[in-house]
Amino acid sequence: MDVIFLEDLAFFAYHGLYEEEARLGQRFHVDLACWLDLGPASREDDYALTVCYGTLTRTVETVVTGSRFKLIERLAGAIADAVLAADPRIDRVRVRVHKPGAPLPVASGRASVQIERARES
């Protein structure tokens, strides 16, 4: 199976448990891996035989900026569901959400979660 990667997509949104996070917002970064058969596109060099990177990016953006979640676990799950719904050629998706501004008790760090979902047969 082949994979398309979109990495370090950055968005400003309002996710988090705390009131300040909902009011002030913060940056979130998303890494996406989509498993699908890229054989036809790699043989034919035909744009119609692959998934549009821009469409995938807009799908992620719609979820990240269009809703508010308390948990980045929920955000990652919603992104995975939306990506699988967006294109039937995608068999499996891995989503990693990074929250660089997570309220951690250290001078530097970030919280991240990774979720993997497969299309139901």
Q: Which long-range contacts (CB under 8 A, 24 or more apart) does 63-70 make?
A: 64/11, 64/13, 64/28, 64/30, 65/11, 65/12, 65/13, 68/13, 68/14, 68/15, 68/22, 69/15, 70/15, 70/16, 70/17
Q: Which of 99, 103, 104, 107 is catalytic?
A: 99
CA 121 – CA 118 distance, rounded (Å): 9
Active site residue 70: no
Residues serving a catalytic function are: 99
